[in-house]
Amino acid sequence: MRTQVAIIGAGPSGLLLSHLLAADGVESVVVETRTEEYVAGRIRAGILEQSTVDLLREVGLGDRLDREGDPHRGIYLQWPEERHHLDFVDLTGRSVFVYGQTEVQKDLVAARTAAGQEVHYGVSDTALHDLDTDRPSVTFTDEHGVQQRLEADVVVGCDGSFGPSREAVPAALRRTWEKTYPYSWLGILADVAPSTDELIYAWHPDGFAMHSMRSATVSRLYLQVPNDTKIDDWSDDRIWDALATRLGHGQDGWQLTPGPVTDKSVLPMRSFVQQPMRHGRLFLAGDAAHIVPPTGAKGLNLAVADVALLAPALTALLKGDAALADSYSDAALRRVWRCTHFSWWMTTMLHASGDPFDEQLQLAQLRWVTSSEAGATGLAENYAGLPIGF
């Protein structure tokens, strides 16, 4: 098989890249280990930055988002006895949309299927070859057990945190940074109308809690839990009780309405960055190059920002102009490190560490962010998202 761009991974990075390339007349083939149903069913984050929404609209992926997505002006930040609204529109003129990554994935699959995109699901043994040459290739075993070789001009690793692409950059040439946080999130999806109009991020001495949502009838909530938490130790009642305490049920008459839990999982929290995001004819995008803890809602938005830079860079490279491809890694990493810092900052400001000194610093920071326009604007600018190309 031969194509212009071989894409490893059919998550949001890989499928959006194939979509943007196709709009520029560049052909690609995508290979993915999981099934189409598995990839489309994964429950992930749900906040789209303004620049992500603008891009999806521009490339014809905004119809259902505009019909079913929910524009939010900001978020609530709270701690016991206090709840403050930060209005991103007033502060920065930009805002966010609540629209699940699961929905973005479905829209991408529908668009790529309609366009006849070649995607091989259910592959195994993906391996990358000859990345230092201008004839790189990807080998894999297809879903029928047949060995395949896909030759390309360029290979893009969009294969998330467990894929082979990041390690295809020679060890001597890559540098990585990693931080594992000493807590995890227990996330639930519940068939109940959200008890809030916008997301609540709650600091509490028992641990962080968050109230998010997917629609008018589906809520998504999270609790900070220790890293070794067993999901079976958390009955639905125990989860709702902890959420009620941490989110301030009864405070100023606010009530948390519990409902049937349809999904429950524990998510680790980690920061990871690998650079450079390019080696020869291999480019990395999305979770393959960087992971952020979910507190800043940046994971999907960073993946979209990467491919928004990468698609025009590859299109130009294939026409003989290497300038954008040569600057891709530095340009992408500038935003990656900004979002890595913001995600770390939100995480460490809001999660209980058990240290009484940290606790006082966190409360001092929360008071400043919610009472100073400068403090609030800094959070809003980062949360609602810097422009593509920042």
Say how far apart CA 346 and CA 185 lie, in whole Å. Answer: 14
45 binds ligand PHB (CB under 6 A): yes
Residue 297 contacts which entry, ligand PHB, ligand APR, none (Cβ below 5-8 A, type-dependent): ligand PHB
Say how far apart CA 188 and CA 240 lie, in whole Å. Answer: 10
* Interface segment toward ligand APR; rule CB under 6 A; list 25-33, 191-199, 346-354, 364-372: 25-33
163 binds ligand PHB (CB under 6 A): no
47 binds ligand PHB (CB under 6 A): yes
Q: Which of 9, 12, 46, 207 forms a contact with ligand PHB (CB under 6 A)?
A: 46
Burial zone of 375 (CB within 10 Å; 0-12 exposed, 13-18 middle, 19+ buried): middle
Q: Which of 5, 32, 209, 376 forms a contact with ligand APR (CB under 6 A)?
A: 32
219 binds ligand PHB (CB under 6 A): no
Shortest distance (Å) from residue 262 CB to ligand PHB: 14
Residue count, binding to ligand PHB (CB under 6 A): 9
Residue 226: left (phi > 0), alpha (psi -120 to 50), or beta? beta
Residue 294 annotated in active site: yes
Q: In the numeric block, which tokens belong to residue 16?
A: 């959006």
Is the CB of 34 or the CB of 106 nearer to ligand APR?
34
153 binds ligand APR (CB under 6 A): no
329 binds ligand PHB (CB under 6 A): no
Residues in the chain: 390
Residue 293 contacts which entry, ligand APR, ligand PHB, none (Cβ below 5-8 A, type-dependent): none
Residue 319 annotated in active site: no
Is the CB of 295 or the CB of 329 nearer to ligand PHB?
295
Residues in a beta bridge with 185: 224, 267
Residue 298 annotated in active site: yes
Cα end-to-end span (Å), the chain = 37
Q: Is the distance from CB of 342 to CB of 298 less than 8 angstroms?
A: yes
Q: Which of 297, 303, 304, 314 forms a contact with ligand PHB (CB under 6 A)?
A: 297
Is the CB of 84 or the CB of 129 nearer to ligand APR?
129
Shortest distance (Å) from residue 143 CB to ligand APR: 12
The letter for the amino acid at 88 is F
Residue 159 contacts which entry, ligand PHB, ligand APR, none (Cβ below 5-8 A, type-dependent): ligand APR
Residues 343-372 close enough to bind ligand APR by CB under 6 A: none
Q: Which of 100, 136, 160, 293 forms a contact with ligand APR (CB under 6 A)?
A: 160
Sequence-distant (≥ 6) Cβ neighbours of residue 1 within 8 angstroms: 29, 148, 149, 150, 151
158 binds ligand APR (CB under 6 A): yes
Q: In the numeric block, which tokens belong to residue 366?
A: 């929360």
Say how far apart CA 99 and CA 76 lie, in whole Å. Answer: 18
- Rounded (5°) CA angle 327-281-109: 90
Residue 75, classed as helix, strand or coil, is: strand
Q: In the numeric block, which tokens belong to residue 88?
A: 């991103």
Catalytically annotated residue among 181, 201, 222, 328: 201
Say how far apart CA 139 and CA 168 lie, in whole Å. Answer: 13
* Interface segment toward ligand APR; rule CB under 6 A; list 78-86, 235-243, 295-303, 337-345: 295-303
Residue 38 annotated in active site: no
Residue 9 contacts which entry, ligand PHB, ligand APR, none (Cβ below 5-8 A, type-dependent): ligand APR
Look at residues 50, 20, 8 and name the one whose alpha carbon lies nearest to residue 312: 20
The letter for the amino acid at 336 is V
Q: Which of 5, 6, 7, 10 forms a contact with ligand APR (CB under 6 A)?
A: 10
107 binds ligand APR (CB under 6 A): no
CB atoms within 10 A of CB 302: 27
Say how far apart CA 109 and CA 101 lie, in whole Å. Answer: 12
CB atoms within 10 A of CB 43: 16
Residue ranges that bind ligand PHB, judged by CB under 6 A: 45-47, 199, 212, 220, 294-295, 297
Enumerate binding residues for ligand APR (CB under 6 A).
Answer: 8-14, 31-34, 39, 44-45, 101, 123, 126, 158-160, 162-164, 286-288, 299-300, 303
| Active site members | 72, 201, 294, 298, 383
